[in-house]
A and B are shown apart, each in its own frame.
Chain A
Amino acid sequence: MHELSLMESLIELAEAEARAHHAERIRIVRVEVGALALIDSEALRFCFDAVAEETLARGAQFEIVETEAAGWCGRCGAETPMTTRFEPCRRCGGAPLTPTRGDALRLLELEIE
């Protein structure tokens, strides 16, 4: 739902980095979206072109790397992969898991020229 405002922060950050490195334009924007990040990748992609217009990222490729989340199981102590908050431990079936990673939206890298 807030993909547009997140995209504005993302492009702002990308543009500041690109300018700091004297880029003339950004060719590729690569971001990581965790499975528990509360972000819909398709909605994010939809916002990119609209927000990138009139910035150094205009016409850039937008690449999303989707990463799996993992959680800690309070019953058996294992760290186990998870795709939703309610998923039980894949080792012992314990639930709920406490997420340990995979809840971030991160700007990974830019290709600039």
Chain B
Amino acid sequence: MCATCGCGGATLATDHSQEGHAHGAQAAYRHHDHPHDHDHVHDHDHAHGEADRDAHLAHVHAPHLNQERILRIERDILSKNDAYARANRARLAQKGVFALNFVSSPGSGKTSLLARAIADLKDRHAIAVIEGDQQTSLDAERIRAAGARALQINTGKGCHLDAHMVGHAIDELALEENSLLFIENVGNLVCPAAFDLGEAHKVVVLSVTEGDDKPMKYPDMFAAADLMLINKVDLLPHVDFRVEACTAAAFSANPHLQALSLSALTGEGMFAFYAWIEARAALAAAESRR
């Protein structure tokens, strides 16, 4: 557990240590960057009237003992995550960093897709990657081999990245101005939908080997994303996957979703994806200057 903020489980592995834990002295001094919720709770604890209080006294009960009270709280459980996400978003905007949060089930080809994108884009953009997995630094190593800086977060039992872990990772990475940040979430088509990390957009990756009914079965992830990438289209002749049925289902969960088909293996369709990234990054930069 992190001694400074009490965060559990997740560990960060940096470029220098594969299984290291960044919650040491290095991370400690940054504790004051953390957003804190300033929601005040108002106590409406007058469930028992004067009569009750008198009765307690009459029965020689110590005052305030056995006194039932009701606290109205009305706080969203994700409000803490959302506060961290807002802080991350502000820090990224300040540096002009364009961040994408890649979500999918395990095995959709997220890491291969990122490795290919890094190899193709690294001469034009500084790129850093935050890799989320329950265990191992295998993905971060693949990303480094492709030519980008990478930091691995191991969530342990956790099924998703949260904004607090990503905030620590942003501290560690010391991002360059006007760079790209790719966040590869834990492979899971359910939970990461609910957690804002401070990214500009969620990008959902779906491979043709998974079946075209995934948007029907897991609509929340497709509703949370702004772009859907249908990956491994080089395998389309060999699988029963209808691209139109898949996109129709995804659009019915989210009419604002955009969709691209590509193959990280052959490179087919990758340039349309790069054009999307650069257009969206330019738009985000223009908006933040306004």
- CA A107 – CA B68 in complex, angstroms? 18
> With a CB–CB cut-off of 8 A, which chain B residues contact A10?
77
B45-72 vs A: 1/0 string, CB under 8 Å? 1000000000000000000101111111
Asked if B190 and A1 sit within 8 Å, CB to CB, the answer is yes
Asked if A109 and B71 sit within 8 Å, CB to CB, the answer is yes
A64 is an interface residue with CB less than 8 A from chain B: no
> With a CB–CB cut-off of 8 A, which chain A residues contact B68?
27, 111-113
Contact residues, A24-57 vs B (CB, 8 A) = 27, 31, 36, 38
Closest CB in chain A relative to B159 CB, distance in Å: 5
Contact residue among B71, B78, B219 (Cβ-Cβ distance under 8 Å from A85): B219
B74 is an interface residue with CB less than 8 A from chain A: yes
> With a CB–CB cut-off of 8 A, which chain A residues contact B287?
none
Closest CB in chain B relative to A96 CB, distance in Å: 6
- CA A106 – CA B75 in complex, angstroms? 5
Asked if A38 and B190 sit within 8 Å, CB to CB, the answer is yes
> With a CB–CB cut-off of 8 A, which chain A residues contact B43?
21
Contact residue among B64, B194, B254 (Cβ-Cβ distance under 8 Å from A38): B194
When A9-B77, A86-B219, A106-B77 are in contact, do A2 and B191 touch as well, CB less than 8 Å? yes
Asked if A38 and B191 sit within 8 Å, CB to CB, the answer is yes
- CA A21 – CA B46 in complex, angstroms? 13
Contact residue among B64, B70, B188 (Cβ-Cβ distance under 8 Å from A110): B70
Closest CB in chain A relative to B56 CB, distance in Å: 12
B19 is an interface residue with CB less than 8 A from chain A: no
Interface size class of B (residues with CB under 8 A): 35 or more
> With a CB–CB cut-off of 8 A, which chain B residues contact A113?
66-69
A105 is an interface residue with CB less than 8 A from chain B: yes
> With a CB–CB cut-off of 8 A, which chain A residues contact B158?
2, 5
Closest CB in chain B relative to A46 CB, distance in Å: 16
B244 is an interface residue with CB less than 8 A from chain A: no
Contact residues, A73-90 vs B (CB, 8 A) = 74, 84-86
A104 is an interface residue with CB less than 8 A from chain B: yes
- CA A37 – CA B194 in complex, angstroms? 8
Contact residue among B78, B216, B220, B254 (Cβ-Cβ distance under 8 Å from A105): B78
B24 is an interface residue with CB less than 8 A from chain A: no
Asked if B160 and A38 sit within 8 Å, CB to CB, the answer is no
Contact residues, B180-230 vs A (CB, 8 A) = 188, 190-191, 193-194, 216, 219-220, 223
Q: List 6 A-B contacts (CB under 8 A).
A: A1-B191, A2-B194, A85-B223, A86-B219, A105-B76, A109-B71
Q: Which residues of B contact A (CB under 8 A)?
A: 8, 41, 43, 45, 64, 66-78, 80, 157-160, 188, 190-191, 193-194, 216, 219-220, 223, 252-255
Q: Which residues of A contact B (CB under 8 A)?
A: 1-2, 4-6, 8-10, 13-14, 17-18, 20-23, 27, 31, 36, 38, 74, 84-86, 95-96, 104-113
